[in-house]
Structure 1
């Protein structure tokens, strides 16, 4: 049903292709959400043209034209949270920080969000001009110019989600089958796969121990989603308080040991994933080093 809907929309100008329809649907979705949160709920008044310009720049990661760095954007948005409700309607020309406006900060944040979640994470190919066209029309609630209804946009996005989910599941399943045959890989009964990089000589954690671990986590495409190394300090936790794949792996290690481990979705975050960085059905790849273990 959804594929037929996309085809019908694709042949209706100006949405000439499936990419056009998907881009328009995403623009409608994000505009509806932004209108609900910023205008209807918080009564924030801002310059929509500047918002969309900032969106384009930060979506494209056009760093040469950034007017605000990422830390300044988040500072501006935090400041916005503390603006009195009756003052938010006056923010169109108000500076949150030197040389920056509410509209730019909000648009830049959305641009990064859409790039990271829709393009980088889910590999959806968007036409940014059509996205912005849909966003502006839907944000202004100019229903006479709608090229699709909210219901039609939702149906398209649901179809995209289902297809991307199936592609991701297939890719992760194929990866595990291939990886299992690689040299040095050990596969446990649960399906956990690991390879010892450096052997340890210390104690092996018990099921209720507290452990200290240094790690970096990526998806099978190499996209990093977490790293204690980047934070500059290891993580300490009860061994039974994390995902099953971590618990199982750590109970096979000795202090001082370093491994690469591939955790199937059912031993990680399952079909739901852990948005926004970890999609559903993801194999989690960790480089882990067990630094310490002790009783609680």
Structure 2
């Protein structure tokens, strides 16, 4: 119990300090006392955590009422116990994740069906699509056991970027056979110095599981890749991608 309480104090201190520093640095609102600042900081923290779910029918009035009921100290006002609340939240997120995954399947299929008709795009039987912008040195092409050094940018089909070697501050370096199938297959189509745009269906990317909080389930992905170097059969210094 002491450990949990201590952890809560650390979190509270961090949130309040961050808020106060932000206010001082940017001429923000001055609260009457630390308790008021902390109260507002908690609201900011809760709001930031929930703002991404606004489009998923989170009722702000009901949310505010629940917080008020709990803080009132009157247990008769609270309409759920902790266990039921957790069950409802888990049910909600399970349903939400399924809806997002199903929508991603539909959107991905529609995108790829249209994209394969674009000039220069080649569609393979397994669903991978690509467009070679520069073939590179055809005498130096990678195999699955080789290490490749690449610059890349990854986006969703709506154009939103989720990753790039530029963000990492250096080219990515990895064994080609150790990454998603769409990359393993696609990069073998160009040589050193080549450039390729890959349109990768979910089953050749991160599939139903997605990738952490970055890539949702069943996401079709787009990568623009420049193959900087091919190191035959070499182990990478650090795996990327």
Q: TM-score range by the shorter chain?
A: 0.7 to 0.9
Q: Is the 8 A contact 1:39 1:45 kept in 2?
A: no
Deviation at 1:164, TM superposition (A): 2.5
Q: 2:160 aligns with which of 206, 223, 228?
A: 223
Alignment check: 8 A CA contact 1:204 1:293 kept: yes
1:44 matched residue in structure 2: 9
Normalization by structure 2: what TM-score? 0.72
Q: Quote the Cα distance in structure 1 between the aligned partners of 2:105 and 2:73.
A: 37
1:115-146 per-residue CA deviation (whole Å, 9 max, x = no partner) reads 45x46xxx535444544444565688865333
Which residue is equivalent to 1:240?
A: 177
CA shift for structure 1 position 176: 1.3
Offset of residue 195 of structure 1: 0.8
Whether 2:214 is the aligned partner of 1:282: answer no
Task: Report the equivalent of 1:124.
Answer: 56
Report the count of equivalent residues.
Answer: 214
Which whole-Å CA distance do the structure 2 matches of 1:138 and 1:253 have between them? 61
Return closer, same or farther for 1:177/1:292 CA change in 2, 3 Å cut-off: same
Decide whether the 8 Å contact of 2:137 with 2:190 is kept in 1: no
Q: How does 1:205-220 map to 2 (within 5 A)?
A: 205-220=142-157
Structure 1 residue 177 displacement after superposition: 1.4
Counterpart pick for 1:253 among 190, 193, 214: 190
Shift of 1:198: 2.5
Give 1:101 deviation, angstroms. Answer: 6.6
Aligned CA distance change for structure 1 residues 214 and 154 (closer, same or farther; 3 Å): same
Larger Rg: 2
Paired residue secondary structure (1:144): coil
Q: Work out whether residues 46 and 103 of structure 1, in 8 Å CA contact, stay in contact via their aligned partners in 2.
A: no
Match of 1:145 in 2: 77
What is the TM-score when the length of structure 1 is the normalising length?
0.60
Q: Extract unaligned runs of 5+ from structure 2.
A: 26-33, 235-241
Q: 1:291 to 1:113 in 2, by over 3 A?
A: farther
**Alpha-carbon distance in 2 for matches of 1:138, 1:251:** 59
Q: Which runs of 5+ in 1 are unaligned?
A: 1-35, 55-65, 70-92, 95-99
